[in-house]
Structure formats: structure tokens, C-alpha cells
A and B are shown apart, each in its own frame.
Chain A
Amino acid sequence: MNCIGVGFSDTLSNARVMRAFVNGKDVVVWRSTSGKLSAWENRCPHRGMRLSHGFVRGESLACMYHGWHYGVDAKCKYIPAHPDLEPPETIQIQRYSSFEKNGIIWVSDAQDAKAPMIADGLTPVRSLNIHCSANFVKNILAGFRSPSPDGDQIVFHVTDEQEDFMRVDVPKIKTALYFIFQNLPNSKCFLHVLAGGLCEAHAKKTISRGLEHLRRTAEKQFGEET
């Protein structure tokens, strides 16, 4: 996997912190007060505390346990127990690459991470937290049919599968959808869906209903098989 979409950009405001999982790695994603985005290993090297419980002070992320501050370069800037001490350069956290594209936050743990290959100009539709693995959802996604209130059906056709996303065409709404999966621990996943063009409220509602049906079906089948 190159990049993992970990959430919509607008769900992480300035000076806020979130937790994400990238290829099984526990990751903290945060935005400084001025809006700079960072993604790091989710662990303070002092006592191993998860930094996703921390808080933002200006351009630093502070650990919740002892308040050690780390700048956007992931180096320790301040140790509150010793206010006059300049922390050694060697105290620093493993950094990951992060990107923002199409209103999605993308993180990669690869050495040579490249921005996701997905097209520009897409619009967010919605996110779903699903209680089964991403692969399980992908397996039932191809050709999945969901009844629509007007008696018609919506059908998901997978037309492209890339490392970072899946393109899904839904004939009824005449716009391509882009599915972005993030695996979570304990066989769960996050699914973020974008639309190819402008997506009216009515179309969004139809897609949303189809996605909820997909989720229910996936979770039910997953429950039966495991």
C-alpha cells in the first residue's frame, strides 16, 4: 500500500489530534494551531504513552503524561519537569508522510511515499465505520445490489482498483464513486467515499442508503462466517 486515507480533512481542525492505523502501525495525526499537518508513530519515547491522547500547544504536540513538547519536525522542544533544559536533538519521534488531497488526509509509512494517484476535484460524500475487514467489504462490493425506495436498484460496479482507492460506478446516479479503505485493529475498517463530480443532496442520500445497506450486509455475513 502506498497511501492510506485516514479521514476527511475537515474532521481534523487546527490544534486537534487523532489516531489512525497505517498498515498495522499505530499513528498519531495532528494539526498545529497554524494548520500544519503531521503524522508520527503514536508513542512518546519517554514512557511509551500514546501521543494521540496528547494536546496541541501552538506549533507543538504535547504528550498527555508528562507534557513533553514535540515540534512539527518531531523533535523534542520542551520538557516541563526541567524548564531550563534544552532537550537533546536525539529525542525525536518516527515521522510518516502525510498529504491532503480531495479533502482526505492520506498517510504513508513507505520510505519513498508519493501522493495518492487518485484524480483531483472529487467531493466527500460520507465515512462509515464497518465491523469487518476492508478485504471482506471489497469482496462483496463488486456487483453489490441495494434496493432503492423508488423500487429500482442501485448497483455498484467496480471499474478500477488501485493501491490507494477503488473506483466504483453506480449507473443510477451517473457519477463515479471513489472508495478509500483504512484497516483498523480487531477486524474493523473505515470507509471514506468520494464522488467524481458534483453530487446533489438527493444523489448523496441515495448513495448513503446504498452504503449503509452494504455495511449491514458485510457485517452480517462477516458475523456468520467467523
Chain B
Amino acid sequence: MNPIERAKQDWYPIAIVNDPRRPKFYATRVLGRDIVLETKMDGSVSVLSDGEHWKTIEAYDHIWTTPSENPRPLFSIPEASERDRRFVPCGVVHVRCSPLRAVENFLDIAHFPFVHTDILGSEPHTEVVPYKVDIDETKDEVIATQVKFFQPQAAKSANEGIVTEYTYRVPSPMNAILYKTCPTRDDVQDVITLFVQPLDEDNCAVWPWMALYDEESSMADMVEFQQLIFLQDRNILENQIPKRLPIDPKMEIPTRADLTSVAYRRWLKKNGALYGALTHAVDQRAG
């Protein structure tokens, strides 16, 4: 199956549910196709692309669509039904990079001290200690566990530096879920996700979403905190060459800290999920 046909089987986020700022007709793009999201008076929505109706669903505070008549089911996040969590859609950040580069960056912790300096990491606490990466065969997901890192301000609710423990799930090629130590409670984990809308192979829109135990911070503060993080990431993502994610292991040099990224790239290859990937070595100096 070619990359676009594989990509067409999935659901993609295009908007936040009940966003009062969205116009009645909202034009955007998915997989290189122009689409229009119409919001009717009663709040119901529909998606049209070249006169063709696309399916929509609402999940995790977002509206998702797919060009497929018979899409794969959207992945599940059990924590989304825990009523005492606060659910925070963080808006959208447009990034001129492959959707797969955006996901890979979300799975990476080694950049925290340099890109999110004094927030998610700080020198000299740069070491990435060994962690575990597996493929969950039943769900066909990449899972990284026991990922530990020192963070000066792990979340809006954190008052001091803590060693944060992360678990990552990659349930579909363009979505990733992160479970991390909750700064205010020992018995639960915060959930932060990255939902990626592939505008095309070289451009994406990322929709971070959180399900947290944080009763103190205002919604605006929590959104602002995540926006700051993603804007810092954007500066990196728009300066990686090539724009598409190289699958050929000769093109980029991984180290032990990049185990999740290595597993992610292999899993994409195995699944033929190569929309936004570069499958053969090219002249990297271009662009």
C-alpha cells in the first residue's frame, strides 16, 4: 500500500469542539486536500471536500475527520473518562515540518535542557538514563516506559524541580500520548497528548490536549504554558533538514537516548505509515 492510501485510513483532528471563535465555514487541509468544516446553528458539524462528504467524530475535545469510508477506529485514551481530571485543549500551532517529525520531537526528552531551558530541563541535568521501549503487539502501539528526567518546572503546578517519570504511547502514526508524574499527587499521572493534523507531507498543525489533576492553575495559564513549550519546539522543527522524517538509518545518527525514536521509525516502516517520511537517502544539503 502506498503512503497516502495508508494515511487515508486514519482520523485527523481539525478543530476544537464548540470553539466559539470558529466561523460557520472553516477551511483547512488534510493530507493535501482542501476541506471545509461547516458548523450548523444546532452545533452539529459536517466536512466537505470537493463536494464529497467526509466522516466526522468528536473525541478528546476535538473534531476528527477522515477521507475513508471505512476508517480504522480512533485509538482509546481511558483517562479521558475520569471525571475528576481537567481536560484542556490547548489550541493549535502550525509548523512547517512533516507531521512525523512533530511526533518524534514529542517523544524526545534529551532536548529539554537546550530547547525548554529552565522549564522542562536544565544543564547540568542532561543525562538520559536507560529506559524501556516495546511494541504492544495487541494494540500495535509503540510504548516507552521508565523514562526519567530532572525537570526544573515540570508543569504549571510544579513549585520546584522534580525527577519526572514518563510513559509514552504512540497509538497511531500521527498521535502520541504522554503519561507523567503529577507534581501535586503521587497516586495519579497527568496525561498530555499531541494530536497532529497533516496538512501535507511538509506541513502540519499540532493540537496539544491535556487531562490533568491541577485544581489551582487557571485554564488560560495552563494553555499558555503548553503554547510556550510548543513554540519553542517549532523553532527546532522548522530548522531540521530534511523536512521529512528519514527512515533510512544511514541518514541520521541515533544514540541510546533515542531508543523511542528508533522504535517509532521502525514501526512506521513496518506499518507502511510513510506519509511525511523519507524512505531513501537524498542530498540532505538541499533546502
* Stretch of B122-130, B161-169, B222-230 contacting A (4+ beta carbons < 8 Å): B122-130
Q: Are B127 and A66 in contact (CB under 8 A)?
A: no
Chain B: minimal CB distance from A104 (Å): 24
- Which residues from chain A contact B285 at a C-beta distance below 8 Å? 25-26, 41, 43
Question: Do A82 and B242 contact each other (CB < 8 Å), given the known contacts A46-B255, A49-B236?
Answer: no
Report the Cα distance A91→B253, complex, angstroms. 8
Question: Do A66 and B114 contact each other (CB < 8 Å), given the known contacts A43-B241, A81-B126?
Answer: yes
Q: Mark B250-279, 1 if CB is under 8 A from A, else 0.
A: 001111110000000000000000000000
Interface residues of B in 119-142 (CB under 8 A from A): 123, 126-128
- Which residues from chain A contact B88 at a C-beta distance below 8 Å? none
Q: Are A46 and B253 in contact (CB under 8 A)?
A: yes
- A50 in contact (CB, < 8 A): yes
- Which residues from chain B contact A91 at a C-beta distance below 8 Å? 253
- B70 in contact (CB, < 8 A): no
Interface residues of A in 128-180 (CB under 8 A from B): none
Report the Cα distance A53→B236, complex, angstroms. 9
Chain B residues with a Cβ closer than 8 Å to the other chain, count: 25
Chain B: minimal CB distance from A39 (Å): 14
Report the Cα distance A70→B123, complex, angstroms. 18
- Which residues from chain A contact B287 at a C-beta distance below 8 Å? 26
- A199 in contact (CB, < 8 A): no
Q: Are B239 and A53 in contact (CB under 8 A)?
A: yes
Q: Main SS of chain A's interface residues?
A: loop
Q: Main SS of chain B's interface residues?
A: loop
Q: Are B241 and A50 in contact (CB under 8 A)?
A: yes
Chain B: minimal CB distance from A41 (Å): 6
- A118 in contact (CB, < 8 A): no
- B36 in contact (CB, < 8 A): no
- B92 in contact (CB, < 8 A): no
- A47 in contact (CB, < 8 A): yes
- A64 in contact (CB, < 8 A): yes
- Which residues from chain A contact B115 at a C-beta distance below 8 Å? 64-65
Q: Are A67 and B284 in contact (CB under 8 A)?
A: no
- B111 in contact (CB, < 8 A): yes
Report the Cα distance A63→B253, complex, angstroms. 14
- Which residues from chain A contact B239 at a C-beta distance below 8 Å? 49-50, 53
- A83 in contact (CB, < 8 A): yes
Q: Are B253 and A83 in contact (CB under 8 A)?
A: no
Q: Are A83 and B241 in contact (CB under 8 A)?
A: no
The 4 closest A-B pairs by CB, nearest first: A80-B126, A81-B257, A81-B110, A81-B128
B residues neighboring A (CB under 8 Å): 110-111, 113-115, 123, 126-128, 235-236, 239-242, 246, 252-257, 284-285, 287
Q: List 10 A-B contacts (CB under 8 A).
A: A43-B284, A46-B254, A48-B246, A48-B284, A49-B241, A67-B113, A67-B126, A79-B255, A80-B114, A81-B127
- Known interface pairs A65-B115, A79-B255; 13 further A-B residue pairs with C-beta atoms within 8 A, sorted by A's residue number: A43-B241, A50-B239, A63-B114, A64-B114, A64-B115, A64-B236, A65-B111, A66-B114, A67-B123, A80-B114, A80-B127, A82-B256, A83-B126
